[in-house]
Amino acid sequence: MRIRKAGKINDRLWYLGREESGVYILEGRDCSIMINGGFSFILPDVLAQMRNFEIDAQKIKKILILHSHFDHAGIAPYFRRTRPDITFYASTPAWKVFAMPKAMEVMNRFSRISAKWMGVESVLDAYDMDWRGDVGGTAISEGDRIDLGGVVLGIMDTPGHSRCSITAYEADEGLLFASDAVGVAYKDMTFPSMNTDVNQYLHSLLKLKPLPVNCVCADHYGYITGKEAAGFVDITIEEGRKWKDRFEVCCRRHGGDIDAAGKEMTALFVREYPDYLIAPEILEGVFRQMMKSVAGKASDPGYFPAQHEKGSNPCEDQPDDEQDFTKA
C-alpha cells in the first residue's frame, strides 16, 4: 500500500512533509533522528507537523542524509543553523559534494527552480536555507551503525542513483530507508531513478533484495507498507531492467547521440507524467546522465541542466582530486 499523507507510521516513526517530498523522524530511547533532508520548500510543512503531531523536536539529536542531491538535503542548512547541537551523518563522497562551491551554487539554484515548479517559491525567502559551506558532519559507510537507544540503523553503501548513495535499515521493524536507491513510487508506477550508473544501480538493488521489508520509507511520494513493501525491491529491479532496455534502444536510434536521446526520453516522460516532481529542465539532465551510463559514458552523478552549460555540473572544472570520488 502506498501512503502519501504525513502522519504517524508506528509508535516511533513519523512521515513529515508533502506528497512530493518528505522526511522521517525515528525515535529511540535516548534520542531521535531525522532521515533525509527533502526539498527545501517542505520546511514550513515539517515544522508545522512537528507541532501538530506533538513530536519532541529537542529530542532530535541526529540527521542522516542518504545522498547529496538537492532534493534530499534541502532543509539541512536550516537545522544546522538553528540546532548546532545536532550531529549530521552522510557518506564521505556526499560530504565532498557539500563542500564544493559549484555544488552549493547548483543546489541553491535547483531548489529555487523546483520551488517555482511547485508554485511555492516564496517559501525560500522566508527561511535561511541556502547552502554556503557551513554544513558538515560525520562520515559513515557500509557496516556502520547509528544507535538511538533500543533502535539501531545499519548502513549499507548503495551507489547507482548517485555515487554517494547509502541506505539505512532498521531490522527489528523491517524499515528500509533507501532514498532513490529504490524506485520512486509515483502514482501507480515505479520509476527506477538510475541516474549515475545503471548497472551499479541494479547491483545495489540485488544487495537489498534479501532484506525483510515491512515499510519502504521513500523520500518521494510517501511510504509503502504491506505486501507491496515486501516486494518493492523486486519491482524496482524488474522496472530497472525494462528502462535500461528502453534507454539502449533510444541511444541506438539516435546513433549514440546522448543529447538527442535525452531530449526524446524527456519529452516522452513529461508527456506521459506531466506533474512529476522534477522540473523538465532538470529532468532532461537526469535522462542525459542515464543515457551516458547505458552508452558506457557515465561521468558525474546528479541532476544537471539540460543545456549542460559550463559550470552547471558541480564536479566539472574541479581539480582532479575533487573529481576522483565520483569515479569510484
Cell of 3: 501512503
Model-level pTM?
0.88
C-alpha to C-alpha distance for 53 and 23, rounded to whole angstroms: 14
125 and 177, same domain (yes or no): yes
129 with 40: CB under 8 angstroms?
yes
Shared domain check, 271 and 163 = no
- 155 and 20 in one domain? yes
Query: Is 161 in the same domain as 198?
Result: yes
Give the C-alpha separation, 60 to 37, whole Å: 14
Does residue 324 lie in a domain region? Answer: no
Distance CA 86, CA 134 (A): 13
Whole domain around residue 10: which residue ranges? 2-238
3-class SS letters over 191-249: ECCCCCCHHHHHHHHHHHCCCCCCEEECCCCCEEEHHHHHCHHHHHHHHHHHHHHHHHH
Same domain, 175 and 101: yes
Q: Are 239 and 198 in contact (CB under 8 A)?
A: no
Q: Which amino acid is at 215?
A: C
Taking CA 280 as the corner, what is the angle to CA 202 and CA 65, rounded to the nearest 5 degrees? 50
User: How many Å apart are CA 310 and CA 168, to the nearest integer?
Assistant: 35
Domain ends where: 188, 211, 238?
238
- C-alpha 295/C-alpha 259 separation (Å) is 12
pLDDT tens per residue, the chain (328 residues)? 999 999 999 999 999 999 999 999 999 999 999 999 999 999 999 999 999 999 999 999 999 999 999 999 999 999 999 999 999 999 999 999 999 999 999 999 999 999 999 999 999 999 999 999 999 999 999 999 999 999 999 999 999 999 999 999 999 999 999 999 999 999 999 999 999 999 999 999 999 999 999 999 999 999 999 999 999 999 999 999 999 999 999 999 999 999 999 999 999 999 999 999 899 999 999 999 999 988 875 443 333 333 333 333 333 323 333 332 233 2
Same structural domain, 218 and 287: no
Residue 86 lies in a domain: yes
- Whether residue 19 is found in the same domain as residue 93: yes
318 in a structural domain: no
User: 157 and 34, same structural domain?
Assistant: yes
- Confirm whether 225 is domain-assigned: yes
16 located within any domain: yes
How many other C-beta atoms can be found within 10 angstroms of the C-beta atom of residue 244? 19
In a domain, 211, yes or no: yes
**Helices 198-208, 280-294: crossing angle, 10 deg rounding:** 90
Domain end (from 238, 266, 283):
238
Q: How many domains does the chain have?
A: 2
Q: Assess if residue 143 is contained within a domain.
A: yes
Distances (CA, A) of 262 to 103, 277, 288: 22, 18, 5
CATH number, domain of 95, equals 3.60.15.10
User: What is the three-class DSSP state of 153?
Assistant: strand
